[in-house]
Structures are given as C-alpha cells and as structure tokens.
Amino acid sequence: MRTAARFSRCISCLLFPSGAMAEVRCSLVCGVAALLLSSAVFAFVEDLDDTFKDTRVNDVWLVDFYAPWCGYCKKLEPVWHEVGAELRSSGSPVRVGKMDATAYSGMASEFGVRGYPTIKLLKGDLAYNYKGPRTKDDIVEFANRVAGPAVRALPSKQMFEHMMKRHDVLFVYVGADSPLKEKYNEVATELIVYTYFFSASEEVLPETISLPELPAVMVFKDGGFFTYDEYEDGSLSSWVNKERFQGYLQIDGFTLYELGETGKLVAIAVIDEKDPTEESSRLKTMIQGVARDYREQFNRDFQFGHMDGNDYINSLIMSEVAVPSFIILNTSNEQYFLPSEPVQTTEQLVHFITGVLNGSAQAYGGDGFIQKIKRVAFDAKSTIMSVFRSSPLLGCFLFGLPLGVISLMCYGICTAETDDGSEDMDALKREGLTDEEEEFEEEEEEQRRLAEGAEDEDDVGEKDPEEKKTD
C-alpha cells in the first residue's frame, strides 16, 4: 500500500509539478463551485406545466411565458434567473417560474398571452402585465411593488419623509374612510403596475401643508404637491395616469411608449448629450422653465422632456429633424408639430405650444391610408439598409438571390418558343361543329384530295416533247 501511494505521488509529481498541481486543484475547485452555484441559481426558477393553473392559487407568481425559438426570450433567460435568485435571497414571497407557451398554448391563451416573452405577476384572481425594461432591478422592483398591498400605510412623519426621498412621484390619500377612499383603492389596484400608492392621516404630513378639505388625494412631485379635483380633473384613474410622471424628464423609446398611454402630447427637445452645445443647453433650460412655470396652463395636455439624439424621432416621423430642435408628438394618431421658425425665446415657445393646443399650428404625419403605405415602405427600406450595414454579404444573399431567380424566370418566359397551334385550332373548330357539318366538311376534304390527285396525273401526262424524245 505504501509503495503504491509513493508510486502515485511520484507519477503526480512527474505530470504536475507542485505549482502546476496547485493551479489544477484551484481550477477544479472553482469549476465545481461554479457548477453548484449555477445549479442553485437555476433552481430559483421553476419550470411550469399545465398543472400550474390548479396549484398557483395560494401563492404569488412571477411567470415568464416564452417560446424556445424567440430571440428576445433567449436574451431574457439569464436575467430571469438573476431575478429568481434576487427574490429568493431577499425573502420575497414571490415565486418565479417560466412556461413554454408553445408547448402549453391552451394555458398561455387563458392568461392572455399574445406575444413572447410575456411577463405576468399572478396574485389571486388578478394578473398584472409587466411592460417595463427587461432588467433585473426593474423586474424585481415591479414584483415587490405589485405583490404587496395596493395601498400602503404611512404611520409616521419619519416614514413619510423616507418615502418622499425614495420616490420622485408619490400618491397619498389623506383622510378617513369615504367613497373617495374606495375609489382610490380601486385605482391603486388597477395602476399598481406603474407606481406606488400610500395612505396617511393629516398629522403625518409636513406642517407646511394645509388642506382646505378632507378627504383628499395628493401627488407629491417636482418639489411641490398637487391635489385632485373631481370637477376639474375628471376621473381619478385618468388623473393618476397623467400625473404619474414628473413634469420634465429624459425620454427614450420605452418612456415615449408609456407616455402614449396618458393621452398627453409630448413636447421634446431633441439634443445631443454626447456633444452638448450652447444651443442645446439653452433649448433644454427653456423647456424646463415652461414645464415648471406654465404648469397650470399646459400640464393637463402636455408632457415635457428631452431626448438624446434624433434617430428614434426620425424613425417615428419618417423624416429627419435637426439637432438641437423642438418637436411635439401626438402618439395617439402619429401626428407631429414643428415650429415654422427656430425658437429663440420662451414667448415664442409658449406661442407655438398654444397654437398646437388650439389647433392653429400645422400638423404633419398622421395615421391615414397614404401614411400607412409610406410607413410600410419606410420600414422595408430601413430593414434592408440595416441588414446591408451590419452584413453586406448576407444582404446580397438574402435580396440578390430572390431577384436573380425572378429575373431568370422572366427571361425564360419571354424567350420561350411558341408551338404551332394550327392543329389544335382545327381540333377546336371540329369540336364546335354539328354532325352534319362535320360530314359535309369531311366530304369537302375528300373532294379536295381527289382534285389534287387528278391535277398530279395531268401533270404527269402532259410531258414536254423533249422529255418524250428522251423517253
């Protein structure tokens, strides 16, 4: 035994010197640890099947409905496992799962899945769609917000101040039980996917705040607060939906999509933040001032902000806007408005926005039939150009091969020889004749052949004298 042990150690020393042996052992340990860690992370996400409908009732579930062939689903997969690990480690009651919507299409249809990937949080009989960015932090924040109560209580001034620091926009119901509170709870249940909702007593509010009457629904944002007025603001749900954004914010493609659900027009300063200029800074500051100082005049109808670069705007309006510039978008009907001249002063900007509001400003674009045709052509052109920019050889293959095949087919059709169809025409003519007409035509044909034979005999009989002598 000792000899064998010494022999194995000798072999190990020959194959792996002491330093190399340590590296190999370290690599093996790291590999095993990584394998165990990855398997533990994957265990935080449960694979669901058609029995899920009956077993989900007593838990809160965050489910990713995916398709195996979907590229976006594959991109989401590692993020989804990070979400599962984060929620499990934080002690959240939310269970994370994923379901192949193509294998269990009936189950996916029952949950209203229309595309891939679809993320839903299922709580009791309620199902909430997630429409935010597909990042770990955003998805985890959504899950924790929606999984909790629709309305959270603020029992103290300290808690109120803490929430004010955490949230840019804060909705608070102040007062005792009332019909307004019931309506507030309904709206919170509906719109919890977008923002938090709180309730508090009047004593919790800062001493500088005095309300003329209670109960009241307030929103704290932009360094102040604003109170819901049923007669001026309409339905509470509509008011919350419009007020859930700050008065001025940075806008990207996803934010613009969300702003479309508010029904507001979006006033945007198009600037280049990577190469800021004095003109860009001036335009951005001007729009921020209008959003702040003209809130009472424009807040119900306009959302203000800025966008970095003009690529996204250009794709929306199927044209090109200058940088920096100012544009107003109506996302509901795809119209847009541009100033007739460069905006130099706040008064010019306010005059232009007022013109858009009262309908005197020139509107471009829209969702008419001609615009839809332009959209199809523009999207096709953009797709082709993007393919050629990213991979010229692939573009030549994808678009050149079909054009070549079509060209060959057209050439073959145009140069094909046509057969003599006289016999077919005679056959068609015969098919259209009656029996008597057909017999008459056969007799005429027979007489014609006899006459031709007689002529041939006459030609033979009437020989030239020289030919006779020769005979």
pLDDT in tens, the chain (471 residues): 444 444 344 434 433 444 444 444 545 444 444 433 444 444 689 999 888 887 787 889 999 999 999 988 999 999 999 999 999 998 889 999 999 999 998 888 888 888 899 999 999 888 899 988 889 999 999 999 999 999 999 999 999 999 999 999 999 999 999 999 999 999 999 999 999 999 999 999 988 888 889 999 999 999 899 999 989 888 999 999 999 999 999 998 888 888 888 889 999 999 998 888 899 999 999 999 999 999 999 999 999 999 999 888 888 888 888 899 999 999 888 899 999 888 899 999 999 999 999 999 999 988 788 877 877 877 777 677 666 666 677 667 666 777 777 877 887 788 765 555 455 555 545 555 445 555 556 666 777 776 666 555 455 454 454 544 444
pLDDT of residue 10: 41
List the alpha helices (DSSP H) in 307-434: 311-317, 346-358, 369-390, 392-395, 401-415, 422-431
Both tokens assigned to 325: 């510039």
Identified catalytic residue from 13, 70, 396, 410: 70
User: How confident is the model at residue 392, as a pLDDT?
Assistant: 73
Q: List alpha helices for 16-154, DSSP H.
A: 18-43, 52-55, 71-89, 105-110, 136-147
- Give Cβ neighbours of residue 349 (< 8 Å, ≥ 6 apart): 286, 287, 290, 326, 343
**CA 199/CA 185 separation, integer angstroms:** 10
Six token digits for residue 206: 């800062």
Angle between helices 18-43 and 2-15 (to 10 degrees): 90
Beta strands across the sheet bearing 197-200 = 152-153, 197-200, 170-174, 216-221, 224-227
Q: What is the pLDDT of residue 243?
A: 94
311 contacts 253 by C-beta, under 8 angstroms: no
Return d(Cα 243, Cα 247) in angstroms, integer: 8
Residue 119 C-alpha from the chain's centroid: 13
User: Smallest Cα–Cα separation from 151: which of 114, 199, 95?
Assistant: 199
d(C-alpha 151, C-alpha 153), whole Å: 7
Alpha carbon separation from 325 to 64, 270, 303 (Å, rounded): 40, 5, 16
Fill in the DSSP letter of residue 398: I
pLDDT of 217: 95
Give the whole-angstrom CA distance, residue 208 versus residue 298: 26
**Residue 65 · residue 122 · CB < 8 Å:** no
For residue 73, indicate whether it is catalytic: yes
Rg (CA), the chain: 40
- The two tokens of residue 444 are 């005429």
Query: For the purposes of burial, counting CB atoms within 10 Å of the CB of 118, is it exposed (0-12), middle (13-18) or buried (19 or more)?
Result: buried
Q: Report whether 280 contacts 286 (CB < 8 A).
A: no
Q: Which residues pair with 94 in a beta bridge?
A: 60
Residue with tokens 């408005």: 337
**Which distant-in-sequence residues (6+ apart) come within 8 Å of 147 by Cβ?**
60, 92, 93, 94, 121, 123
| β pairing state of 60-66 and 335-337 | unpaired
Selecting among 73, 396, 410, 414, the annotated active-site residue is: 73
Cα-based distances in Å from 55 to 42, 51, 119: 21, 7, 19
Residue 449: what residue type?
R
Compute φ and ψ for 134, nearest 5 degrees.
-90, 65
Query: Which pLDDT value is given to residue 468?
Result: 44
- Give me the pLDDT at residue 456, please: 53
What is the pairing mode between strands 302-308 and 248-250? parallel
Q: How far apart are CA 60 and CA 464, in angstroms?
A: 118
Token digits for 262? Answer: 């508010």
Q: Does the pTM exceed 0.75? A: no
CB 182 within 8 Å of CB 158: no
Number of continuous H segments (helices) and E segments (strands) in the chain: 21, 16
Question: Which residues fall within 8 angstroms of residue 218, CB to CB, at 6 or more apart?
Answer: 171, 172, 173, 174, 211, 225, 226, 227, 228
Please report the pLDDT score of residue 121 as a whole number.
Answer: 93
- For residues 336 and 328, give the distance between their C-alpha atoms in angstroms, rounded to a whole number: 6
Task: Output the six-digit token pair for 164.
Answer: 């004010």
Copy the structure tokens of residue 33.
Answer: 């640890």
For this structure, is 30 an active site residue? no
Lookup result for tokens 């809130």? 295
